[in-house]
Amino acid sequence: MITFLPADLPVVYAGDPNMRTALVLHGGGGPQTVASIVGHLAETMRVIAPTHPGWNGTLRPDGIASVADLASAYLERLLDSGEGDVVVIGSSIGGWVALEMAIQSAADVRYAGLIGAVIDIDGVGAVVEGEPIADFFALDARGLAEAAWHDPERGYLDPAGFSSEQRAIQQSNGQTMAAIAGRGMSDPTLLGRLGTVTVPTLVVFGASDRIATPAYGRSVAEAIPGALFAEVPAAGHLPHLEAPEVTWQIIDQFLQRVR
């Protein structure tokens, strides 16, 4: 059974409505972590950036219980909206959703032509031998900064400075992430299914990412026919925040190739 996204799901629309559509999918940190991606792409594209159901206090329907469910729901939303040739760009868990969308679109004739390209930025989801994903849920704020950032001091957020509302949202987001992605943030079948992806794909990883390493990212790219891999120096799990100029250059060059 297909589960649809809530009608009142918060969505940011930006850019020129007459240009090619980019769907930007955030990771566990929420929509604010991809705001810079939205801003950059809006210069040349029409951008759609939803808040995933269950994040930031939004409703998560019971039928969205996995990344595959979420991917199906986004595909249905794009289909209902009459979209086509969409570039799906995902960060972290959003990268996993993007890859799952590409897999499902290749398998279902109803979605033919819906997805035009995928950009996976430090995405999780696959199980790669010898390159385990960090136990995100066991990390405190300091440990998360050290695993996710090239410069941990820049990424560290002192929980003591959070309001009660911010703490509640952070806790709720973590619960939603665990429910959808699992505590291991992976699907043992994903790596083997990536060979069915038929659209141009770019995998981008920060060189200092310790949530999922660049070697992990290379293995994901190698499993996708024709996929490109790029590493961003002096950046961790969110290269678009730590090294935006290099990240934009890599993304823009890929988008030029798949126009």
pLDDT of 166 strictly over 80:
yes
The residue segments making up the domain with residue 244 are: 11-257
C-alpha to C-alpha distance for 231 and 217, rounded to whole angstroms: 9
| Structural domain count, the chain | 1
Q: Looking at the domain assignment, is residue 181 inside a domain?
A: yes
Q: Looking at the domain assignment, is residue 3 inside a domain?
A: no
**CATH number reported for the structural domain that contains residue 67 in this entry:** 3.40.50.1820
Q: Looking at the domain assignment, is residue 5 inside a domain?
A: no
Q: Looking at the domain assignment, is residue 92 inside a domain?
A: yes
For 83-133, the pLDDT digits (tens) are 999 999 999 999 999 999 999 999 999 999 999 999 999 999 999 999 999
C-alpha to C-alpha distance for 95 and 209, rounded to whole angstroms: 15
Q: Looking at the domain assignment, is residue 212 inside a domain?
A: yes
- What do you get for the CA distance between the two ends of the chain, in Å? 34
pLDDT of 2 strictly over 80:
no
Q: Looking at the domain assignment, is residue 2 inside a domain?
A: no
Q: Looking at the domain assignment, is residue 187 inside a domain?
A: yes
Helix (H) or strand (E) holding 106: helix 93-107
